[in-house]
A = this chain, B = another copy of it.
Amino acid sequence: MGCRSRAIALRADSPAGPTGLEIVESHTQPQESRPRFARRKEARPQELTAAALSLFVERGFAATRLDEIAARAGVSKGTLYLYFDSKEALFEAVIREGIVPALEEGEALFERHRDDPAALLHELLLGWWQLIGATDLGGIPKLMMAEAQNFPDVAKFYFDEVMARGRELVRKAVQSGVDRGIFRTVNTDQIVNVLMAPLLHLATWRYSFACCDPKGMQPQAYLESYLDLVFNGLLVGRMEAGR
């Protein structure tokens, strides 16, 4: 203790002068068009969660630095703590805010095609890709899969409020097709998971091996093959795939 305080005292008591120990404000170049302190209370949370999502998806939760998230949002780390209590709270916000609105759009889509199961299923699957898979939200499934065991509470929320709801939407579409004799009799509970897998896989691909595989996975051709296989596998009698 004594030694330590003495060292500090020596520094603190050193006479003012060119010792090089003072912290000098060499920040005399504010030649920016934008002010260094821009107050935008409303926009910050969105910008921060968007930045956090992209980095979490790219690197994983643990490997992502809060400084990087803040920098990507054009803000300092301290600001981040004005809006979120902790890194974990930020993660929760990313998941909670991210995907529920898109799911609600899917539920609206459901109402619009109640009477044509094949078209409905087609719309749901392709709609998922267009509204979620192909957008920034497409990284959420990868992120959530990777982190589910580290965040059981968030995983529970995501599973109940997102996956189970989406699953049920697709399940009802398949079931109504079976009921009307348009689709073959299948185990709807399981087939739903099988149907979603290739979509989730394609979305995950964009954030994993896409760079190793510039030509192998082409979303357009992949989706065509996928829908072709699915509808040939589901429809009763020989028909054109997908409607």
Contacts and interface: CB of A to CB of B under 8 A. Distances in A.
Contacts of A228: 186, 233
A209 to B, nearest CB: 6
A217 interface: yes
B212 A159 contact: yes
A189 to B, nearest CB: 7
Nearest to A58: B149
A150 to B, nearest CB: 6
B201 A189 contact: no
Contact of A209 (B145, B201, B204): B145
Contacts of A226: 190, 194
Interface string A128-159: 00000000000000101111111010011001
Nearest to A199: B197
Interface in A138-187: 142, 144-150, 152, 155-156, 159-160, 163-164, 167, 184-187
Nearest to A241: B233
Interface string A209-236: 1011100111001101110111111100
A36 interface: no
Interface residues of A, number: 64
B150 A59 contact: yes
Contacts of A98: none
Given A186-B228, A190-B222, A232-B234, 6 more contacts: A148-B209, A148-B212, A189-B216, A193-B217, A232-B232, A233-B234
Nearest to A4: B185
A63 interface: yes
A127 interface: no
Contacts of A224: 187, 190
A154 to B, nearest CB: 10
A237 interface: yes
Contacts of A46: none
